[in-house]
C-alpha cells in the first residue's frame, strides 16, 4: 500500500463590507454587514485553535487580504461603525422601535438546528417572532428583558465553541441560557473582541511553528479571468448573453495579485508561494499574470483538468491517477482539488456523526492507496474555511478534531503543505477557462442583473481613468470583487441582497467622492430588480390538469414549470421547514394553471385558517388571487384599480392533497408574468415566496417554443 499525501486548503474570505462614511470631519469606517466579526469570533478562531491543539497537523490557510484587513479593523481600535455590533452593545432600555425591528429581522439569521434550537430561550423568542415579516408590529410582543436575552443569545450562538468548553464564564452563560444581565453581556462582548484580536497572532504563531502554510487570493477576491477580458466567458458558455461593453483591464488583474502578495508578506514576514484564485477561476492569461507576479503554485477544480485534457477522470466516483498529481503551465504548478472529498466536507458530513464522517473520509483515501500501489499520490482538499461549520453540530469541532487526529495517526496518509511538493508536474498544453462551479463563469456574469453590474463597473472605471486618487482606485478594485456579482441575478436568494447591492454601488460612489468628483446619478439606482427565477424544472409545453386536488396521473403536470419553495426557509435565515414546498405553473385550454404543494395535506392548511394570496403583475395590470378554506374552498380574482383591488371573477379551484386552480388567460397578457405569494393566518404574514421581489415566469409564447427542455 502506498502512502497518500493529503493537502488541505481552507479558503478564508469575506468581501469588503466596509465603505467610507464621507463626512466633513474625514473618513470613518462604516461596516454594513457583520460577517467578518461573527466568523472571526467563531470559525476563524476555532479552526486555528484546533490546528494548534492536535499534534502532527499541517494545513494551508488561504487568507484573502481584504478579509485580514477587516479583521485588523475590528481588532485594532480603528474608528469602526458596525450597526450589528452596535445593536448587540446598545443598552436594551435605549432601543427605539427601529432598533427593535432591526434586531428581530437580523438576530435570527442563523442556522436553526445548530445555533437557535440549542438554546430553549432562543427557540422561544424565535417562535414568538415567527417569519421575518411585519416586524414593526411584532416589536410589541417583546419586553426589554427579551431584547437583552436576544442580544446575548445572538452573540453566544456566534461564539467560539472552543471557548465554550474552556472558559467557565462563557460556558456558564450558555448553561444559564436566559435572564442575562447587562454586565454579563458587556463581559461577553469584551471576550469576543479579545478573540478576534487574537486571530492574526495565532496565524503567525502557527506559521512559524511549521503547522500552517499561508497562501492567498488576489486582494479583493475578483474573478481574475473576467478582469482580463469579460469575453472569456464566451469560451466556456457561448450561449449566455454578455454585457454590451466588455470589461478588460489586465492592469487591474495584475494589481490585485501584486497587492495580495505584498500585503500577506508584510503581515507574516514571508511572501506566499501559492494562491487559490477567487472561486478557483482560471484562464491561461490569468495564470501567466500570477506567474509574472511571483506565484509558484495555484489550485483549481478537477473539472478544469477534465476540460483541459478532454478526458473523463472519474469512473463511478473513483478518481483516475491523472487527478492525483500536480501539473505545470507557464511556469506555475497547478493542483486540482479532489471534488468528492472537498464537497463531502462542505455539504455532506454535517448530516453524519463525526465518527462515520471521518471513517468515510479515511476509507476513500485507503481505497486510493490500495488501487495505486507504489505510486506517490497527492489529494488536494480545497473548500471554504468558514461556511460549512454553521451546519455542523458544535461548529464542526468534533468532526475536525477527530479528522485531524485520525489522519495524523494513519499508517497510509501524510499531511503535506502545497509548497513542500517537489515532484515534477506534467506540463499542460492548454488550460480551459472556468471556475469550480460548472467550469464556467455564469455565476458572476451572463444574467441581466450581473451584466448590468458589469456595465456600471466598466463605465465608472473608464470615466475615472487617470483621475483617481490612490484611495479611489482601491474602491474600484474593491468593486471588482466576485461577491457582488454572485448575489446579483436569479440564482442566489438572500435576505441581504439589497445590502449587497448598496455596498457595491457604495464603492463606486466612494471612488468619485475620494477623487473630489460628484458621482453620476445612475449609481443611485438599484441594480437588484427584485425578480427571482429558480426553476427546479423548466416548463416544456402545454398542460391540461384535472382540477381535483390530487395528482390524478403522472403526466398531467409533467410539462409544467416547477419552483422549489423550500429554498427560502432553512437556508440563510436558518428557518425550520417551510409550510409550502413547490409551485407548478403552465398554460393550456385558454387557461393559466397553478398548483401548490405543501409539506403535508394542503387542505389541512386551509382548515387551520391559513389564507393564500398570489399577486400577479403582467401586461394586463396587477391582480390578486385570494384562496380561502371556509366555509368552502374558494379562489377569487381581483384587479387593482384607482380605489384598490376589486373583484373580477370566481376561479375554478380544488384542494385536497394539493391545491390546483385555473385563471382565464384573458387576464394574463402575452408577456412575462411576475408573481409572488403570501401565506397568512389571522391577518398576519407567516411566509412569503420569494422572501422579496417576484418570481419571473416566462411568457406563454416562450413556453410553447420547441427548445424548452425538461
Amino acid 560: pLDDT: 92
> What angle, rounded to 10 degrees, do the helices at 144-157 and 182-197 form?
20
Neighbours of 698 (CB within 10 A): 19
Which has more confidence, 531 or 349?
A: 349
Which has more confidence, 675 or 57?
A: 57
Whether the Cβ atoms of residue 484 and residue 499 lie closer than 8 Å to each other? no
Whether the Cβ atoms of residue 392 and residue 350 lie closer than 8 Å to each other? yes
Which has more confidence, 375 or 573?
A: 375
Phi and psi at residue 584, in whole multiples of 5°? -110, 150
Lowest mean pLDDT among 434-448, 647-661, 666-680: 666-680
Peptide bond into 631 cis (omega under 30): yes
Q: In a 10 Å sphere around its CB, with 0-12 CB exposed, 13-18 middle and 19+ buried, how is residue 191 labelled?
A: middle
Q: Which residues pair with 592 in a beta bridge?
A: 587, 663
- Rg of the chain on CA atoms, in Å: 27
Whether the Cβ atoms of residue 48 and residue 202 lie closer than 8 Å to each other? yes
Mean pLDDT in residue range 651-663: 94
pTM of the model: 0.80
The closest of 426, 497, 337, 355 to 8, measured between CA atoms, is: 337
Whether the Cβ atoms of residue 43 and residue 36 lie closer than 8 Å to each other? no
Q: How far is CA 172 from CA 120, 167, 178, 249, 402, in A?
A: 15, 8, 11, 54, 26
Length of the chain: 710
Residues 6+ apart with CB under 8 A from 74: 36, 37, 40, 80, 82, 193, 196, 197
Looking at CATH, the fold of the domain delimited by 535-703 is given as Immunoglobulin-like (2.60.40)
Q: Which residues pair with 537 in a beta bridge?
A: 562
The closest of 165, 214, 170, 164 to 190, measured between CA atoms, is: 170
For residues 478 and 223, give the distance between their C-alpha atoms in angstroms, rounded to a whole number: 12
Quote the Cα angle for 639-642-646, to 5°. Answer: 30
pLDDT tens for 178-225 read: 999 999 999 999 999 999 999 999 999 999 999 999 999 999 999 999
For residues 510 and 629, give the distance between their C-alpha atoms in angstroms, rounded to a whole number: 53
Phi and psi at residue 276, in whole multiples of 5°? -100, 105
Nine-digit cell at 372?
A: 495505486
> Is 4-14+212-427 CATH 3.20.110.10?
yes
**Residue written as grid cell 438554546:** 119
For residues 355 and 664, give the distance between their C-alpha atoms in angstroms, rounded to a whole number: 57
pLDDT tens for 360-400 read: 999 999 999 999 998 899 999 999 999 999 999 999 999 99
Q: Are strands 4-12 and 377-384 parallel, antiparallel or unpaired?
A: parallel
pLDDT tens for 131-147 read: 888 888 899 999 999 99
For residues 464 and 184, give the distance between their C-alpha atoms in angstroms, rounded to a whole number: 50
pLDDT tens for 91-133 read: 999 999 989 999 999 999 999 999 999 999 999 999 999 888 8
**Residue written as grid cell 507504489:** 374
pLDDT tens for 580-626 read: 999 999 999 889 999 999 988 999 999 999 999 998 888 888 889 99
For residues 225 and 232, give the distance between their C-alpha atoms in angstroms, rounded to a whole number: 7
Amino acid 551: pLDDT: 87
pLDDT tens for 453-511 read: 999 999 999 999 999 999 999 999 999 999 999 999 878 878 898 899 999 999 999 99
Phi and psi at residue 606, in whole multiples of 5°? -70, -35
Mean pLDDT in residue range 664-672: 82
Instruction: Please give the full DSSP string across 450-467, using - where no structure is assigned.
Output: HHHHHHHHHHHHHHTTTT
Amino acid 688: pLDDT: 87
Residues 6+ apart with CB under 8 A from 62: 9, 10, 11, 12, 13, 214, 215, 216, 217, 274, 275, 276, 385
Instruction: Please give the full DSSP string across 125-177, using - where no structure is assigned.
Output: HHHHH-SSSSHHHHGGG--HHHHHHHHHHHHHHTS-HHHHHH-HHHHHHHHH-
- pLDDT over 90 for what percent of the chain? 73
Q: Are strands 673-681 and 426-427 parallel, antiparallel or unpaired?
A: unpaired
Q: Is 691 helix (H, G, I), strand (E, B) or coil?
A: coil
For residues 147 and 87, give the distance between their C-alpha atoms in angstroms, rounded to a whole number: 10
For residues 689 and 661, give the distance between their C-alpha atoms in angstroms, rounded to a whole number: 18
**Residue written as grid cell 477587516:** 70
Which has more confidence, 707 or 416?
A: 416
Q: How confident is the model at residue 571 (pLDDT cuts 50, 70, 90)?
A: very low
Whether the Cβ atoms of residue 445 and residue 226 lie closer than 8 Å to each other? yes
For residues 483 and 481, give the distance between their C-alpha atoms in angstroms, rounded to a whole number: 6
Amino acid at each position: 500500500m502506498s502512502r497518500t499525501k493529503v493537502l488541505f486548503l481552507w479558503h478564508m474570505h469575506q468581501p469588503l463590507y466596509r465603505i467610507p462614511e464621507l463626512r466633513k470631519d474625514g473618513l470613518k469606517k462604516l461596516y454594513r454587514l457583520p460577517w467578518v466579526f461573527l466568523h472571526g469570533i467563531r470559525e476563524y478562531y476555532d479552526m486555528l485553535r484546533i490546528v494548534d491543539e492536535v499534534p502532527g497537523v499541517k494545513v494551508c490557510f488561504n487568507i484573502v487580504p481584504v478579509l485580514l484587513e477587516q479583521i485588523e479593523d475590528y481588532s485594532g481600535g480603528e474608528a469602526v461603525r458596525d450597526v450589528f455590533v452596535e445593536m448587540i452593545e446598545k443598552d436594551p432600555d435605549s432601543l427605539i422601535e427601529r432598533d427593535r425591528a432591526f434586531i428581530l429581522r437580523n438576530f435570527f439569521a442563523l442556522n436553526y438546528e445548530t445555533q437557535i434550537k440549542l438554546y430553549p430561550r432562543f427557540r422561544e423568542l424565535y417562535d414568538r417572532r415567527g417569519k421575518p415579516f411585519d416586524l414593526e408590529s411584532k416589536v410589541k410582543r417583546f419586553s426589554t428583558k427579551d431584547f437583552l436575552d436576544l442580544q446575548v443569545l445572538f452573540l453566544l450562538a456566534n461564539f467560539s465553541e472552543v471557548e465554550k468548553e474552556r472558559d467557565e464564564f462563557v460556558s456558564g452563560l450558555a448553561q444559564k441560557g436566559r435572564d442575562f444581565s447587562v454586565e454579563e453581556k458587556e463581559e461577553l462582548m469584551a471576550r469576543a473582541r479579545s478573540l478576534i484580536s487574537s486571530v492574526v497572532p495565532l496565524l503567525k504563531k502557527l506559521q512559524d511553528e511549521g503547522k500552517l502554510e499561508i497562501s492567498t487570493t488576489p486582494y479583493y477576491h475578483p474573478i481574475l479571468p473576467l478582469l482580463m477580458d469579460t469575453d472569456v466567458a464566451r469560451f466556456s458558455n457561448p450561449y449566455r448573453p454578455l454585457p454590451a461593453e466588455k470589461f478588460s483591464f489586465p492592469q487591474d488583474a495584475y494589481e490585485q495579485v501584486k497587492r495580495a502578495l505584498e500585503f500577506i508578506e508584510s503581515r507574516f514576514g514571508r511572501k506566499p508561494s501559492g494562491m487559490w484564485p477567487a472561486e478557483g477561476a482560471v484562464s491561461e492569461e490569468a495564470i501567466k499574470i500570477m506567474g509574472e507576479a511571483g506565484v509558484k503554485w495555484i489550485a483549481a477544480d478537477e473539472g478544469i483538468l477534465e476540460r483541459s485534457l478532454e478526458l473523463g477522470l472519474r469512473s463511478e466516483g473513483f478518481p483516475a491517477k491523472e487527478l492525483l498529481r500536480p501539473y505545470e503551465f507557464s511556469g506555475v504548478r497547478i493542483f486540482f482539488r479532489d471534488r468528492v472529498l472537498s464537497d463531502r466536507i462542505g455539504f455532506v458530513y454535517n448530516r453524519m456523526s463525526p465518527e462515520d464522517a471521518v471513517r468515510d473520509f479515511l476509507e476513500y483515501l485507503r481505497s486510493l492507496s490500495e488501487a495505486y500501489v507504489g505510486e506517490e499520490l497527492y489529494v488536494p482538499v480545497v473548500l471554504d474555511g468558514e461556511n460549512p461549520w454553521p451546519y455542523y453540530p458544535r461548529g464542526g469541532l468534533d468532526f475536525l478534531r477527530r479528522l485531524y487526529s485520525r489522519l495524523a495517526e494513519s499508517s497510509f496518509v501524510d499531511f503535506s503543505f502545497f509548497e513542500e511538493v517537489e515532484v515534477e508536474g506534467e506540463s499542460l498544453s492548454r488550460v480551459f477557462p472556468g471556475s469550480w462551479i460548472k467550469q464556467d463563469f455564469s455565476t458572476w456574469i451572463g444574467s441581466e442583473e450581473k451584466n448590468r453590474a458589469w456595465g456600471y463597473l466598466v463605465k465608472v472605471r473608464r470615466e475615472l481613468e487617470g483621475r483617481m486618487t490612490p484611495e479611489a482606485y482601491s474602491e474600484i478594485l474593491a468593486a471588482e470583487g466576485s461577491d457582488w456579482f454572485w448575489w446579483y441575478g436569479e440564482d442566489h436568494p438572500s435576505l441581504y441582497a439589497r445590502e449587497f447591492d448598496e455596498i457595491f454601488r457604495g464603492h463606486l460612489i466612494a471612488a468619485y467622492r475620494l477623487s473630489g468628483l460628484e458621482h453620476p446619478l445612475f449609481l443611485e439606482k438599484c441594480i437588484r430588480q427584485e425578480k427571482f427565477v429558480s426553476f427546479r424544472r423548466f416548463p416544456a409545453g402545454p398542460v391540461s390538469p384535472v382540477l381535483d386536488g390530487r395528482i390524478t396521473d403522472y403526466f398531467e403536470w409533467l410539462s409544467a414549470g416547477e419552483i422549489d419553495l423550500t429554498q427560502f426557509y432553512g437556508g440563510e435565515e436558518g428557518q425550520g421547514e417551510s409550510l409550502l414546498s413547490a409551485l407548478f405553473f403552465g398554460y393550456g385550454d385558454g387557461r393559466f394553471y397553478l398548483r401548490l404543494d405543501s409539506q403535508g395535506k394542503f387542505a389541512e392548511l386551509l382548515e387551520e385558517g391559513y389564507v393564500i394570496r398570489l399577486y400577479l403583475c403582467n401586461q394586463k395590470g396587477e391582480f390578486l388571487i385570494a384562496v380561502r378554506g371556509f366555509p368552502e374552498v374558494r379562489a377569487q380574482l381581483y384587479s387593482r384599480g384607482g380605489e384598490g383591488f376589486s373583484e373580477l371573477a370566481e376561479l375554478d379551484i380544488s384542494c385536497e392533497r394539493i391545491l390546483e386552480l385555473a385563471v382565464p388567460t384573458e387576464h394574463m397578457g402575452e408577456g412575462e408574468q411576475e408573481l409572488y405569494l403570501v401565506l397568512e393566518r389571522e391577518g398576519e404574514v407567516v411566509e412569503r415566496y420569494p422572501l422579496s421581489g417576484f418570481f419571473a415566469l416566462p411568457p406563454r409564447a416562450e413556453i410553447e417554443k420547441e427548445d424548452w427542455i425538461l
